[in-house]
Structure 1
Amino acid sequence: MDRHEFKKRVIEYAHTIGIDDIGFTTAEPFTEFKAKLIDYYKNGYESGFETGTIEERTNPKASLANAKSIVSIAVGYPNKLRNAPKSKQGERRGIFARASWGMDYHTLLRTRLEKLEAFIRELDPSIDCKSMVDTGVLSDREVARRSGLGFSGKNGFIINPKLGTYSYLGEMIVSYPFPADEELLDSCGDCNICVDRCPTGALVGNGQVDSKKCISFLTQTKGFMPMEYRSKIGNRLYGCDTCQQVCPRNKGINTEHHEDIVLEPEILKPELTSLLQISNREFNKTYGHLAGVWRGKKPIQRNAIIALAHFKETAAIDILKQVAETDVRPVIKGTAYWAIGQISGDEALDYIYERYGIETDDDVKKEMLMGIQEAS
């Protein structure tokens, strides 16, 4: 069959295995993106989670020497959590970002890409394929943009006409010359809502994100949360959806037809104090399937403590004291002391000063003092 018929059959099959949109581009280097990437690193916007060198990230043939094309896929995910439990006094709850709802999207996309690879090889066994999902060296968003799946918004997301920004992206480098799709010529125009509404000013305005200011990045770090951002975290346990929630292009969009994206309201919006008392085994059993726990339990627990301080949850004081006095991890211990000061204010002075003479870690002691100083 010719290239166009081959492409048509791949597209038809893709839609039968849960791929909502599919696009094709060449395996030529991403020269424009390379310039942006150089600027990105020059400005210090990187998170540290990036994989590969600039050359590897912009040259598909560095990943597959005989690459001819790249197949980009998009799978929409839900953005509304029906029957979500209410967060109320005495039972405050946190929230996982929408990209972490349901099965870990790495697993979900890999399953679809593996099926697509098998189908392509069935049609032509000589074709080499190399799939990537998020952790690969190529930029999923830049590949999707050049493949015609959407345009790059000011919030850095790919805005797809059917899925908005709420889609998982993955790609497959192949040694077959599929006809390339045209890029989608669209833009945010004068709209600047996401930039204006970003809680920490992380959006630069040209589609780039200063990762070190981005709440999504901050919630995934393992150390002490920088003080200037704690008041911005709210009840977020992992990620941030603000720049997607305010985007007008997402109005009326909510992808709910995928049977393997199962929403669990009690898990996605968990009670905060229960997270502070959970064992490693129970945590992994309950939350291990979520993409949002890839960094482990510690960041989630730290964020839960910050959320309790955000809510001024007095009912959590006894549990926070238990955590502060018994947890061996300085980040968790110190953040708990800080939260006690934030919640109780002057009433925490005697307790903090008494415990100050007992604690030995300098970072923990610093947190203790900052908690009561900020609250007074």
Structure 2
Amino acid sequence: MPSSDINYHQLAQDIKQWGHSLGFQQVGIADIDLTKHEAQLQKWLDKGYHGNMDYMAAHGMKRARPNELVPGTVRVISVRMDYLPPDAGFAQNLKDKSKGYISRYALGRDYHKMLRNRLKKLAQKIESQVGALGYRPFVDSAPVLERQLADKAGLGWTGKHSLLIHPNAGSWFFLGELFIDLPLPVDQPIEEKCGACVACLKICPTQAIVEPYVVDARRCISYLTIELKEAIPESLRPLIGNRIYGCDDCQLICPWNRYAQITDENDFHPRQHLSQQDLLTLFAWNEEAFLQRTEGSPIRRIGHERWLRNIATALGNAPYDEAIINALVQSSGQYSSMVQEHISWALKQQQDKKQLATLPDRKNQRLVRTIEKGLPRDA
């Protein structure tokens, strides 16, 4: 047990300094009372908004009760680390529908292991000062309400897109937590400053933000391209555009991200073979190439099959290109039935665009744009 004569106020200040030295941009401390979030969590689960992410419901209310997850926990040290890379190329990549858009957090090295290791070092530094203590680090790896804890710790407020926003750093940052058994003084939440802004609700391509602060994961492009293991619902495929891994639209539109800071971590800088690459180039990767080029990347977790599923969807959404049709035809029959379903769908989209693209009058050009947007032809 830690010594009873610890100066906890000084220790809290030291912890924040040690955290900064380890590369965290901010460190805050929260108590573990999340009872006010339990009803909302249960309502979200009851509506099925978690989709097939069964792990969200598997632990019941333990997600909102840190001391049940890690007995003895009395405080949570919450940290954030900026990840926005230089030369992100947001607009260029989304505008050019022949290129694959990958969420900015996934262009570099997987953050989970890095943050967890640094949280562990922070815990060891604390232990070296106060003696043996109980702790456990988490980085998106257990039933933890990380954004709610970070909110309590003063790292930002929860925006209407459900992500955390800091007034001087926007929302382009990772979160991590260190559960600990020390009764440290806690930090105060900061005031929410979204005001009347609903830009994130309006910009969402699939209208997944069903109301302020509530996201229906079943419609979210990040869920559809990363978490979903089955076929993407056909009605949502045209809305995905060229987003092949995740989506950043709600962050791109957020006015607070004008204050976002570029990351100091080289590991978060984009890998050349992932950033702003042609869809056809990415679609041509066999499984060996996929595994080699996504080593150490969060993208690897979806596997080659879902990678192809996502890119096939984007190829269907791309402007008509005979090279795309040829690639889709040549790949037919080579993959699983799930991937083949998306290849066949994409081929049909391209063939429809080809047929209409040969007709020069304005009406048919409007039909081409209608198909590209996934709308009924009589819209």
TM-score normalised by length of structure 1: 0.86
- Of 208, 213, 221, which residue of structure 2 is paired with 1:207? 213
- 5 Å-filtered alignment, 1:207-356, equals 207-220=213-226, 221-311=228-318, 312-327=320-335, 329-345=336-352
- Of 15, 22, 26, which residue of structure 1 is paired with 2:20? 15
Q: How far off is 1:80 after superposition?
A: 4.9
Task: Check whether the contact 2:29–2:77 (CA below 8 A) recurs between aligned residues.
Answer: yes
Task: Check whether the contact 2:110–2:296 (CA below 8 A) recurs between aligned residues.
Answer: yes
Distance 2:70 2:8 in 1: 20
Distance 2:178 2:293 in 1: 32
Q: CA RMSD in A?
A: 2.6
- Of 25, 30, 37, which residue of structure 1 is paired with 2:30? 25
Distance 2:142 2:129 in 1: 26
Distance 2:106 2:253 in 1: 19
Q: Hey, what does 1:59 align to over in structure 2?
A: 65
Q: How far off is 1:125 after superposition?
A: 2.6
Distance 2:95 2:331 in 1: 20
Task: Check whether the contact 2:171–2:260 (CA below 8 A) recurs between aligned residues.
Answer: no
- Of 171, 178, 185, which residue of structure 2 is paired with 1:172? 178
Comparing 33-42 and 220-229, the one that deviates more? 220-229
Paired residue type of 2:83:
Y
Distance 1:63 1:7 in 2: 23
Q: Hey, what does 1:44 align to over in structure 2?
A: 48
- Of 115, 119, 128, which residue of structure 2 is paired with 1:122? 128
Distance 2:326 2:66 in 1: 54
* Distance 1:313-1:181 versus aligned 2 partners, 3 A rule: same
Paired residue type of 2:257:
N
Q: Extract unaligned runs of 5+ from structure 1.
A: 349-370
Paired residue type of 2:31:
T
The CA deviation string for residues 66-111 of structure 1, in whole angstroms up to 9 with x for no partner, is 1111000000111553579977999932021012121111122112
Q: How far off is 1:177 after superposition?
A: 0.7
* Distance 1:297-1:165 versus aligned 2 partners, 3 A rule: same
Question: What's the secondary structure of 1:8's corresponding residue?
Answer: helix
Question: What's the secondary structure of 1:45's corresponding residue?
Answer: coil
* Distance 1:115-1:260 versus aligned 2 partners, 3 A rule: farther
Q: Extract unaligned runs of 5+ from structure 2.
A: 1-5, 356-373
Question: What's the secondary structure of 2:205's corresponding residue?
Answer: coil
Given the alignment of the two structures, is residue 68 of structure 1 paired with residue 67 of structure 2, yes or no? no
* Distance 1:156-1:90 versus aligned 2 partners, 3 A rule: closer
Q: How far off is 1:35 after superposition?
A: 1.1
Question: What's the secondary structure of 1:173's corresponding residue?
Answer: strand
Paired residue type of 2:321:
E
* Distance 1:87-1:123 versus aligned 2 partners, 3 A rule: closer
Distance 2:275 2:191 in 1: 36
Distance 2:120 2:329 in 1: 49
TM-score normalised by length of structure 2: 0.86
- Of 13, 18, 39, which residue of structure 2 is paired with 1:35? 39
Q: How far off is 1:52 after superposition?
A: 4.3
- Of 190, 200, 205, which residue of structure 1 is paired with 2:196? 190
Task: Check whether the contact 1:51–1:135 (CA below 8 A) recurs between aligned residues.
Answer: no
Q: How far off is 1:257 after superposition?
A: 1.7
Taking every aligned residue pair, what percent have the same amino acid on both sides? 27
Distance 1:57 1:186 in 2: 23
Question: What's the secondary structure of 1:227's corresponding residue?
Answer: coil
Distance 2:294 2:222 in 1: 18
Distance 1:21 1:324 in 2: 50
Q: How far off is 1:256 after superposition?
A: 2.5
Task: Check whether the contact 1:85–1:265 (CA below 8 A) recurs between aligned residues.
Answer: no
The size of the alignment, in residue pairs, is: 350
Q: How far off is 1:114 after superposition?
A: 1.6
